[in-house]
Amino acid sequence: MKIVIDSLIPFIEGVFEPYAEVVYLKGEDIRHDDIADADALVIRSRTRCSASMLGGSSVKLISTATIGTGHIDMDYCSERGIFVSNASGANAGGVMNYVLSALYGVASRKSIRLDGCSFGIVGLGHVGSRVEAAARELGFKVLRYDPPRAEEEGGYDFCSLDYLLENANIVSLHLTLNDSTRGMADEAFFAKMRPGTVFINAASGELVVDPALKAAIPKLGAVIIDAWNNEPSVDKELVSMVDIATPHIAGYSYQGKQRSTATVVRTVARYFDIKPLLEFFPETEIKELEAVKLDVRGKSQGQIASLFQYNYPIFIDDFMFRIDPDGFVGLRENYSYRREFFID
């Protein structure tokens, strides 16, 4: 058995060597010839698994350590019987931390009072649900938009997108990118928002129409962007216009990377019946990177902001990106994973 692995996936080196021939390559360098005789690919979003890439290969399984599968030709894989799995939900805690640190950080910088605000969450999957739970713990009124979930749950406690945009003080995108969501945050979308709304996109850059966002920025209270169109070649003008800009690292927590690597390893183990790896999880002895619980009960907005910034000083990520937006890839590849926090 041969497995080709993206060399930048953490905690994975040495795991499969007792059971297979393993080849490590940087994700963007993986080519058809490298995988022609491979049985499995373990990748991130930097590897584009197109029909031309996969055609004529012996690949039976693609396991991606990412949430999305937009870098994989799913139709081709379905037609050819190639099993595809992703690390759904692995980054949820990290993204939730990002949203809270960014929101409270920018509110402090711009003197935005969060008491009594309505928090609009667009997309209630793994990440959106974690953001929702945290928002409720912090005392926000939550507005929820997710048509598939609303249909499953009989519409209970969901609202229309128009209602959310017209009534929320904070709008945070957590949708999966597909044909129906691509470009949904367009001119009409931003026109429905009330003045002073905080807009957050830590999901996918392609959800947003950049010229529409630029035109709306003077009306909005603050804009926080982690996911960009045309990554890694981001719109530098937009970077300069928003309040917090980061290079798609919202989910880059230590625990998130542990979970994503565990997911891909276990997937390969199940598919090829590698019994010793069925319960694999990369452990750590690093005390400073263990997840922590934060008690926000009875604390003021400023005290909560200080707690979040201490545990995730997001403006460092913002600063590093602003001084080198062309260094998008390098900033991601050399990112120091942060520990997660959860709130009580």
pLDDT digits (tens, 9 = 90+) for 103-143: 999 999 999 999 999 999 999 999 999 999 999 999 999 99
Considering the domain architecture, whether residues 50 and 149 belong to the same structural domain is answered as: no
Kind of pairing, strands 222-225 and 198-201? parallel
How far apart CA 10 and CA 260 sit, in angstroms, is 9
The residue behind tokens 């795991």 is: 15
- Residue 174 tokens, joined: 């957590």
Q: Are 180 and 209 in contact (CB under 8 A)?
A: no
Considering the domain architecture, whether residues 82 and 103 belong to the same structural domain is answered as: no
Start-to-end CA distance of the chain, whole Å, equals: 46
7-27 pLDDT tens trace: 999 999 999 999 999 999 999
Instruction: Give how many domains the chain has, as a whole number.
Output: 2
Structural domain boundaries, residue 137? 92-250+297-343
Note whether residue 284 is domain-resident.
Answer: no
Split at pLDDT 50, 70, 90, the class of 154 is confident
The residue behind tokens 């945009």 is: 165
Split at pLDDT 50, 70, 90, the class of 82 is very high
Question: What ranges in 233-300 are assigned the alpha helix state H?
Answer: 236-241, 254-272
Amino acid in position 291? A
Considering the domain architecture, whether residues 130 and 190 belong to the same structural domain is answered as: yes
Rounded to 10 degrees, the C-alpha dihedral 10/15/16/17 comes to: 110
Give the side-chain half-sphere CA count within 13 A for 81.
5
How far apart CA 47 and CA 44 sit, in angstroms, is 6
Looking at residue 311, its pLDDT comes to 96
Considering the domain architecture, whether residues 77 and 98 belong to the same structural domain is answered as: no
Percent of the chain having pLDDT more than 70? Answer: 100
